[in-house]
Amino acid sequence: MNGRVIRVDLWEEFKNLLIKYDVKELVYRIEMSVPAKYLTSLRLILPTSGVQYVFIDTASGDKLRKTGIAIHRDKLGNMYIRDEDVINFIRSELNKKDLKIRSYWSM
């Protein structure tokens, strides 16, 4: 991979890339600011030969702006996204129940 990164702004466009490359695995990262009550986002990463496609979805009220995935709040008011909500959304959208979807954490 030569390190080229392409940001994809629309969910439908990213979904079409997932279909085009017939993905068997997908990586995501839930990103939260400190404190988490102010910003929560989702980053989906599709690595292909020579290019890494990235889709970012941010909070808008009680859901993510582009995908509509629910945002929850803990008893302190901190926002969070459930891993199972992300996984279920992607599998449902692609109609691929066996798709491997992995969380990616970095420091």
Has residue 105 been placed in a domain?
no
Are 28 and 102 in contact by the 8 Å Cβ rule? The answer is yes
pTM over 0.75: yes
**Confidence class for position 1, pLDDT limits 50, 70, 90:** very low
pLDDT of the residue at 98: 92
Q: What is the pLDDT of residue 37?
A: 57
* Domain annotation covers residue 104: no
Task: Judge whether 69 lies within some domain.
Answer: yes
- In terms of residue numbers, what domain contains 59? 4-99
Measured distance CA(12)–CA(84) in Å, rounded: 21
Flag whether 106 is in a domain: no
Work out how many domains the chain is built from and give that number.
1
In a domain, residue 83? The reply is yes
Considering the domain boundaries, does residue 46 fall inside one? yes
In a domain, 51, yes or no: yes
Residue 82 confidence (pLDDT) above 60: yes
Q: Classify residue 59: in a domain, yes or no.
A: yes
CATH number at residue 44: 3.30.720
Q: Token pair of 74, please?
A: 């803990």
